[in-house]
Structure 1
């Protein structure tokens, strides 16, 4: 028992020491990531530019299917996020634009910088939908892994900023996962109770096979 306690004490101290002695670990994206993230770049080669991300200055081209776009600051795009437990996304929605139902592996906080949107999520326990119209300065949280969405309901373009508590939180759009994948048509029909023609139509729209 004493040996086990001693082991866990040293393990805890080692973890704390590691946290104290590493202020940052800018990712070396030339290496393969592991469960703890990427290997670190040599600190001697870093400059202030490694800690600055400027891609949010402008929007990405809008996807014509949804009239929206996302500019990502995940660890792949912003290596300084490696090991820090957060990332961000800039969302641009044209008039009537939509960010369709999707999930991440993490929770998300969303704040409206410009425009008027309806945003919400769906509870996994009873499938209740929670949604609300948001104005500039309003903020909403999407609990971890739940389906959520945003719709521009205003007369002007909308700009939103999302923060997630993982440098690589993942992203899965429901429509692309189902209709843009190689899931056979007959299985989509059975699992979603859709007719054959409708499944073929959606497969064509989302590029599935």
Structure 2
């Protein structure tokens, strides 16, 4: 009995060399809620653990004057299964991220340059609102609606980290107005008048 206990303890403290240290995502395979299946070990290289996309500024010439450059598992296969990811946020003067949520992860935002007005709304409808400056860090809890607005006189840059390899970005305005949901339904559920709804649909690419 004592021998079995020692054997079990040793196996726990000193795991087999065959245990997986990581699971680099096979981007050619389907993705499920747990992530991508693992790339074959012989096909893994150091390049899988390096992503250079966040060094390039995003294109902010759009209606939001903002750009989000993700480094999720789809772009960065080395983080597959590790429970972390990153993104770059570029905001032109007056730029903003529409109200959005990340259903799969908490966000921590670090301000590199510029001044942002940022906040989130709790499940009890309490608003947490503040101004963020270079070097500030703010957490946005998983699943809660939040936003960022560049209120400074120069472009702003921030980097976000997430507690998920694929946190998902769900923009509320686009969910409402960038599709073919009938205006009559939106009128009843948002209390907006049809003209306002049509203007928003035209702005964001929706129909009907």
TM-score normalised to structure 1 length: 0.88
Q: Deviations over 1:38-88 (max 9, x none)?
A: 111112122211110100111121142011101100111111111000111
Q: Does 1:111 align with 2:114?
A: no
User: Which residues of 2 match residues 99-138 of structure 1 at below 5 A?
Assistant: 99-105=97-103, 106-125=105-124, 127-138=125-136
Paired with 2:190 and 2:123, the residues of 1 have a C-alpha distance of: 17
Runs of 4+ in 1 over 4 A off after TM superposition: none
**Root-mean-square deviation (CA), in Å?**
1.7
Report what 2:6 is aligned to: none
Deviation at 1:36, TM superposition (A): 2.0
Deviation at 1:184, TM superposition (A): 1.1
Q: Deviations over 1:16-40 (max 9, x none)?
A: x69x911111100111112321111
Q: Does 1:88 align with 2:86?
A: yes
Q: In structure 1, list runs of 5 or more residues that go unmatched.
A: 1-12
Q: Deviations over 1:111-150 (max 9, x none)?
A: 101111111101121x121111111110000111010000
Paired with 1:35 and 1:123, the residues of 2 have a C-alpha distance of: 25
Report what 1:21 is aligned to: 19
User: Which residues of 2 match residues 144-163 of structure 1 at below 5 A?
Assistant: 144-163=142-161
Q: Does 1:175 align with 2:173?
A: yes
Paired with 1:39 and 1:55, the residues of 2 have a C-alpha distance of: 23
Paired with 2:65 and 2:170, the residues of 1 have a C-alpha distance of: 18
Report what 1:192 is aligned to: 190
Q: How many residues align?
A: 193
Paired with 2:185 and 2:61, the residues of 1 have a C-alpha distance of: 28
Q: What is the SS of the residue equivalent to 1:168?
A: coil
Deviation at 1:109, TM superposition (A): 0.5
